[in-house]
Structure 1
């Protein structure tokens, strides 16, 4: 496949686009932007945007604040219906109205590196609105109503065309009952595709009434103050017969005034921040979980160190045993970390602990079952202790010895793991309970609430461990070996 020429595509976009760096200096602009602003790239590149297009009034302040907000927060921002004059090369000033969408472009570290602006000239729409307020004394009432209806339909069509591609959502509400007269495509998607045009919001979206949003609209309509919210929780009943869905939105309610300054409606704009909000929630939960696990891990390490040193007078052997146990613990943590601390498939866990031994001496298999994070760490330590004992004293200490590890699901017991050594020295019950023996009992019967049976036979050691259902879950029937 040929490489896509994004630079050529950017330049061919019919809508004006330009890019600023973090210091709000021009980086580039496409042909539509250059034509709209009567500029060349040489006029723009490297220049501070507010120096190139100065506007000392309120519009200039709002524009600069929007750029700064995107640079500081890394979140997109939209300025709707912004009056901003453009100076021609001959000095002529064109008074225009714009809608500008500012989108951050992040670097590899997730920091804002550039700001992309897409502008739409809505001057004609503004003129249509102004013309709709002029008297039509020479026309009959019926003709006057028809003309106004046609103009309103044309304005609505132009408005929809201009805003339908915007990443933010928009809606226009008219009158004291907040009747929908416009709904952008993104807003329509947000509300589940419901047809709301011509309907009061209380009828079109009845679930938002008790959530207080209609009261907010009433207040904006009466007082004329802009209402803004970040991360507002909204429950929408988008699919009849299914549970309502939860969303988190950044939005604002802006009063719309006629030429006399009277409020005639409300302009709604915003961004759906649900995914970002939930990602933040998940991150917070993961941090809390990590803090909890770190505390538990430190306690486990402390116990291993204390019990290992207490169980022997040989400092070298104690150090080696301690390092091996910590290595097993670290291996389990690495496995969980690779899966973002989700469940681990038991076959992978057994393989990781036994893959250092010859494949012709060790076999393992069973159905695909996954164990939770707590059980993963516990079983890693148990398998390590059993394998260490087999290498030192059991079947893996002689060339002709062998080991089989199998697991199955018992309807009455839960997860059953069988450790069977054959071909090695006869197994003998130790006269002294070391840390390894105590750890096996503590982990299986205490920490995991299961049971363990150890049989010391002439043919070798046999261990049966039963793990309660709460520590694992069935995935699918599959045999691994």
Structure 2
């Protein structure tokens, strides 16, 4: 800038220093006026215009003769600290200054544009600071692109939050496997379902070892088959996992293998998917299946017991009217016994009341009394209370034993005997079921029926006790041992 001798009022006042001969006024005027930059020269501390080229005037929508006007007057309300401060800095320090992405406008087209502006000191022939030359570059496209990118990033962040909230609400775990590197990603929820700590490294072996042994082979084979593009890459399976604490959980896994084309052929790239803990659903489904089987089992047993009662009553009755009266009473007793076990079968909410072990046994065995010998059934129980919850489980067990005895055991014959005794030692309740004089038992049954399985499950799971079967030749002997506190629940 030392070539400029002085900048007084306008372009025609420029004095060129030595060596600048040959540059005409018209050439210099045309050069600056049409330069692809916004060029402005201001002089003095009032920043009076000495030069403002076409692009500068257009960007600020300025018209008329600007030469000699202070920036404050020409710009009006647009003369801000952002416009003034860098020029003041240059005049004070003699150092260049720069500002970026400054909005100008609206321009002559009514649009706002953005500029990067460099401010340079201007010195006179005596090397004194006399003005500021500003050079502006239109960066509107860059700024708009940045703003759009920011908008999309913000929108993406919002969508990610929405997705995260949706995933959290559904309690889904997210996972990903990169085929080329073997890298595995699990979300926090996925780790929680598997019982894996946040800092524990994820490996293929870890996942395989978490699968329940009974499901491991077919699950690994199913997932491995997705590497083949012919599989269509869709995964939809339910299987069990075993957490580090031994807890078994059912999960539903959904996934999709993505393929990429390599050398003209599709190749497995990454496997994405979700898991959902469905343990509660599977447990409820199993409970419903068990209930359906139990209802079917009970209906068959009722028919079998009713048939046995008809036969036994017919043999003991001396007249049709006596048979009808006896059979009617026994069927009513059978109905009362069924009502006693109804809450367990229908999953009704039980009434809050207590009963006794003896009362349960008497109600269950009432339909079988006097079918033959008057003293064929003996119940000798200490006064032991049973809470509503435990009474239902105990009822199911005694009902199952009575049903089997009427079908196969001592209660299936007129001469059979059954003795039930119960007592406790302060901590444990003992109940003995002893049959005799029924059909001889050659050996224990080869398989355990559904009813026996249900009885054992009721004792061990609901009552937290134990049941032992002793298949003696003269008759079945069953012993129940239940913690007294559990029987009182």
Same structural fold, with TM-score higher than 0.5 when normalized by the shorter chain: no
TM range (shorter): 0.3 to 0.5
Structure whose CA Rg is larger: 2
Q: Normalised by the size of structure 1, how large is the TM-score?
A: 0.41
